[in-house]
A and B are shown apart, each in its own frame.
Chain A
Amino acid sequence: MYRVIEAGQLADRIFQIWVEAPHVARHALAGQFLVIRIDEHGERIPLTVSAVSGDLVRIIFMAVGKTTHQLSALKAGDFIRDVAGPLGKPSEIGMRGTCVVVGGGAGIASCPIIARAARDAGNRVIGIIGARNAGYLILEDEMREACDDLLVATDDGSRGFHGFAADVLKEVIAGRKVDCVWIIGPAIMMKVTSEVTRPKGIRTFVSLNPIMVDGTGMCGSCRVQVGGETKFACVDGPEFDAHQVDFDLLMQRQRTYFDEEKVSLERYHEHACRCGEGGHHG
């Protein structure tokens, strides 16, 4: 059992939890993830290690499915049944020169820890964060602190640049030499945004988020195609060379349990209504 130390809402449908998990917190590096199982009936879901502090790990998630809705109802003092990690390979930081870290939506959660690691390694770091509108934007202050420069974009122009993170990235790489780019967000955003750096051949990493079960290379549920080869995102990734990734396949496989996920969420909401208090029943 792992204790929730702090829990709260960051933006529209986006939540954060600080959970006590020393075995993860003490060893996690930028780019790695953990797997949680909320209770005895829970599924195992992977979430990026968004920050660590002593024995605490932070996870940030958007409430979309049953498990994330249930997570969003947790309060300080509650418990998460299982937290396993750190899993996956850390980001290949290194001394590269100028790095750009691009985050989209809930994917911004993964950015500060990478930006900080890149800056600590001696890189100049430019951050770009984008969201549908100002209400969905998270971690702006944290990114401002972690980066040398931060650029903000919203699809509707309600904050910062009016447009996509991809548009901002295009301008940044047109204006100066960029050596390495990280792009983290929904699959479609990573697909579109990584096209920006392809013509210039800029080293670009994306962090893939396929469906996983164990997260340790045991089941192959998370297999992705990278450069025509099958890779397991959990152990060979989660970060891969963006220009080699088959994003369409990733998105296809993410929809495997579309119907089941709907059933599960509806059942949860029904149950939550009957219990009368947001589904939280300790």
Chain B
Amino acid sequence: MGERPARDRIRDFFEVDCGLSAEEAVAEAERCMQCKKPSCVRGCPVEIDIPAFIARIAERDFRGAARIIKEANLLPAVCGRVCPQEVQCEGACILGGKEMPVRIGELERFVADREREQGLVIPPVAEPTGKRVAVVGSGPAGLTAAAELARDGHMVTVFESLHEPGGVLMYGIPSFRLPKDVVQAEIDQLRGMGVKILTNHLAGASIPVAELHAYDAVFIGTGAGLPFFMNIPGEQLNGVYSANEFLTRVNLMHADRFPEYDTPVRHAGRVVVVGGGNVAMDAARVARRLGARVTLVYRRREEDLPARRAEVIRAREEGVEFELCANPVRIIGTHFVTGVECVRMEMCSLDDSGRPEPSPLKGSNFTIDADMVIQAIGQGPNPLLIRKIEGITYGRKGNIVVDEEGRSSLEKVFAAGDVATGAATVILAMGGAKKAARAIDRMLREDQRDR
């Protein structure tokens, strides 16, 4: 079924990728070599038995395929859409050397969508253990930990400060990449497993830290919600947004449908987005859909863009202009933004990540007209809760320090996802949360035996 043409999709927020038809899925599944030692599985942070579910698709047993995926991952419709498969399962696929790797992501999504259309099967949960676990945050990490722990028979309560659960899946990723009903359905499945989700509850405030400690275990998955600003002159002007604010206004609050929805967002003719990651691409593509001419300013080269390749291509197709090797030095305007002064960047010696260190080229300043600027230069862990948890060790960047199984410096307190690793991907957060959930389950069971 493929992708919708760019000229259609920039008019709305419906999904860009239409997914596979059953015939296409079966044909794609038949390409799988069914390797004895599958490298794709090793490339999957949540260790889905990929060849097994693909084999079921080839046999047209789509429900069976769904069951296999959900043993390892309860958010397959999300992961099938937003995982960077090209550097994970598909990147490891043996076929990738000679031809195209099997489109594992599309297959995962197909199976998940198919199951949702026909009614999600709530996964079975173990006998109740009587243990209570508090999960803080309902983004990818929190939802994964909650699902795994509920499956193990523990009583899970999730605390979410916003009015909708889902974290970045709801406020951050636009619906043209991840439709919100898809997220809702996977969350409803968790509720069906007995997970209690309390929205409007800010842990550390609505639920004091002492009350959290009264649970048998605490899992913290509060993400990286604190937006960074560049700290350049003019940043306080009206019309300068963090990507978090811009995306939250549109994705969560539906500002694209103002005044039908009460939350406004500035309707700009020309938008400058600063940054080169997935969040920057999302912001740029949302701004295009709101009707603006959009220029994305990134300080390094095309090949250094940290965003997924496919998203860069889609952004270009949708008419996002790229101003590469450039960096803003000042935002211009009185009260409202009127432009961004940038400087050309020269690529110098490689840094630790293998990317060139950019440095400004003297006298190369130029101005881009803009009535809106969106800064998508990264975000760090929100310190709100962490600072209130006495005795927890956190790193220089505010991240909770954990071992490889998510244990923090405090007994019974675990953390995973961006709050532990710094800003990363949905699937890495889920992988970390799954490991932490296993460690929590083990701890709770040992606890039970000791009595």
B208 touches A260 (CB 8 A): no
Q: Does A9 contact B (CB under 8 A)?
A: no
The answer to whether B244 and A220 have CB atoms under 8 Å apart is: yes
| Given A27-B206, A218-B382, A223-B236: A37 touches B264 (CB 8 Å cut-off) | no
Q: Which of A23, A83, A218: most chain B Cβ within 10 A?
A: A218
Kindly state whether residue A170 has any CB partner on chain B within 8 Å: no
Taking a contact as CB atoms closer than 8 A, the residue among A85, A256, A263 that contacts B238 in the complex is A256
Interface residues as binary, B248-259 with A (CB distance below 8 Å gives 1, 0 otherwise) = 110001100011
Q: A219-B245, A264-B264 in contact; A84/B259 too (CB < 8 A)?
A: no
In the bound complex, residues from chain B placing their C-beta under 8 Å from that of A84 are 161-163, 199-202, 206
A119 in the interface, Cβ–Cβ < 8 Å? no
Within 8 A of B (CB), among A230-260: 230, 235, 249, 252-253, 255-257, 260
Q: Residues of B within 8 Å of A, CB-based: how many?
A: 42
Is B236 a contact of A214 with CB atoms below 8 Å?
A: no
**A56, B163: Cα distance in complex, Å:** 19
Kindly list chain B residues whose C-beta atoms are within 8 Å of the C-beta of A130: none
B87: Cβ under 8 A from any A Cβ? no
Which residues of chain A from 194 to 230 have a CB within 8 Å of any chain B CB? 213-214, 216-221, 223, 225, 230
Q: How far is the CA of A44 from the CA of B200 in the complex (A)?
A: 11
What 1/0 mask marks residues of chain A from 82 to 107 whose CB sits below 8 Å from any chain B CB? Answer: 11111100000000000000000000
**A-contacting residues, B46-78, CB 8 Å:** none
Using a CB-CB cutoff of 8 Å, which residues 348-396 of chain B contact chain A?
A: 382-384
Residues of A within 8 A of B226 (CB): 217-218
> Does chain A have a CB within 8 A of B445?
no
User: Chain A residue with minimal CB distance to B198?
Assistant: A23
The verdict on A220 contacting B199 (CB below 8 Å), with A67-B262, A84-B206 known, is no
Q: Which residues of B contact A66 (CB under 8 A)?
A: 262
- Give a binary string over B298-336; 1 marks a CB under 8 Å from any A CB, 0 the rest: 000000000000000000000000000000000000010
> Which of A42, A86, A219 interacts with B227 by CB under 8 Å?
A219
**CB of B346 within 8 Å of the partner chain:** no
Q: Is A177 an interface residue (CB 8 A)?
A: no
Q: Is B263 an interface residue (CB 8 A)?
A: yes
Flag if B262 contacts A41 (CB, 8 Å).
yes
Q: Are A216 and B382 interface neighbours, CB within 8 A?
A: yes
Interface residue A267 (Cβ < 8 Å from any Cβ of B): yes
Asked if A27 and B205 sit within 8 Å, CB to CB, the answer is yes
Question: How far apart sit A264 and B253, CA to CA, in the bound complex (Å)?
Answer: 15
A216 contacts B248, C-beta separation under 8 Å: no
B200, B229, B235, B245 interface centre (most CB from chain A within 10 Å): B200
Let me know if B384 and A216 touch, CB within 8 A: yes
Bound complex: CA of A281 vs CA of B261, how far in Å?
Answer: 16
Q: Are B201 and A23 in contact, CB atoms less than 8 angstroms apart?
A: yes
- Inter-chain CB contacts under 8 Å: number: 116
Interface check B4, CB cutoff 8 A:
no
Task: Given the known inter-chain contacts A214-B162, A218-B226, A218-B227, please indicate yes or no for A82 contacting B199, CB distance below 8 A.
Answer: yes
Does A43 count as interface, using CB distance less than 8 angstroms?
yes
Is A280 located at the chain interface by the 8 A CB criterion?
Answer: no
**Secondary structure of the B side of the interface?**
loop
| Contact (A43, B253) CB under 8 Å given A82-B199, A83-B200, A230-B235 | yes
B202 A87 Cβ-Cβ under 8 A: yes
Q: Knowing A27-B206, A84-B206, A87-B202 touch, does A249 contact B227 (C-beta < 8 A)? A: no
User: Once bound together, how far apart are the Cα atoms of A253 and B266, in whole Å?
Assistant: 13
Q: With A82-B163, A213-B248, A219-B248 known to touch, is A260 a contact of B236 (CB < 8 Å)?
A: no
Could you tell me the distance in whole angstroms from the C-beta of B65 to the nearest C-beta in chain A?
35
Separation in Å of the B235 CB from the closest CB of chain A?
7
Contact between chains at B261 and A230 (CB < 8 Å): no
Provide the main secondary structure of the chain A interface: mixed
Q: What B residues does A43 contact at CB under 8 A?
A: 253, 261-264
* Segment 211-265 of B: residues with Cβ below 8 Å from A: 225-227, 229, 231, 235-236, 238-239, 241-242, 244-245, 248-249, 253-254, 258-264
A264's partner among B200, B206, B241, B259 (CB-CB below 8 A) is: B259
B95 sits at the interface (CB 8 A) = no
Q: Does A14 sit within 8 A of B, measured CB to CB?
A: no
Nearest B residue to A252, CB-CB: B335
Residues A217 and B384 in contact in the complex (CB < 8 Å), given A43-B253, A230-B229, A249-B236 = yes
Report the minimum CB–CB distance from B86 to chain A (whole Å): 29
Q: What 1/0 mask marks residues of chain B from 189 to 208 whose CB sits below 8 Å from any chain A CB?
A: 00000000011111001111
> In B250-306, which residues have CB < 8 Å from any A CB?
253-254, 258-264, 266
A224 vs chain B, min Cβ distance (A): 8
Name the one of B202, B206, B242, B384 contacting A219, with C-beta atoms under 8 angstroms: B242
A179: interface (CB < 8 Å): no
- Indicate if A6 sits at the interface (CB-CB under 8 A): no
**A219 / chain B contacts, CB cutoff of 8 Å:** 227, 242, 244-245, 248
Q: Do A216 and B161 touch across chains, with their CB atoms under 8 A apart? A: yes
Which residues of B lie under 8 Å from residue A41 when comparing CB positions? 254, 260-262
Q: Which residue of B lies closest to A28 (CB)?
A: B205
> Do residues A220 and B253 form an inter-chain contact, with CB atoms below 8 A?
no
A41 to B254 Cα, complex, angstroms: 8
Given A37-B163, A214-B162, A220-B244, A253 and B238 contact (CB-CB distance below 8 Å): yes
List the B residue with the shortest CB-CB distance to A83. Answer: B200
User: Which residues of the partner chain A approach B208 to less than 8 Å between Cβ atoms?
Assistant: 27
Please state if B236 and A23 are interface contacts (CB–CB under 8 Å). no
CB contacts (< 8 Å) of A264 on chain B: these are: 258-259, 262, 264
Contact A85 B253 (CB under 8 A): no
Which residues from chain A contact B263 at a C-beta distance below 8 Å? Answer: 43-44, 213
Is A24 in contact with chain B by the CB < 8 A criterion? yes
Q: Is the CB of A24 within 8 A of B161?
A: no
- A235 B245 Cβ-Cβ under 8 A: no
Which of the residues B198, B238, B262 comes within 8 Å of A42, measured between beta carbons?
B262
14 contacts between A and B (CB under 8 A): A23-B198, A41-B262, A44-B253, A84-B206, A85-B206, A213-B253, A214-B162, A218-B227, A219-B245, A223-B229, A223-B236, A257-B264, A264-B259, A264-B262
Can you list the 4 inter-chain pairs with the closest CB atoms, starting with the nearest? Answer: A260-B264, A219-B245, A43-B262, A84-B200
Q: Which residues of A contact B (CB under 8 A)?
A: 23-24, 27, 37, 41-44, 66-67, 81-87, 213-214, 216-221, 223, 225, 230, 235, 249, 252-253, 255-257, 260-261, 263-264, 267
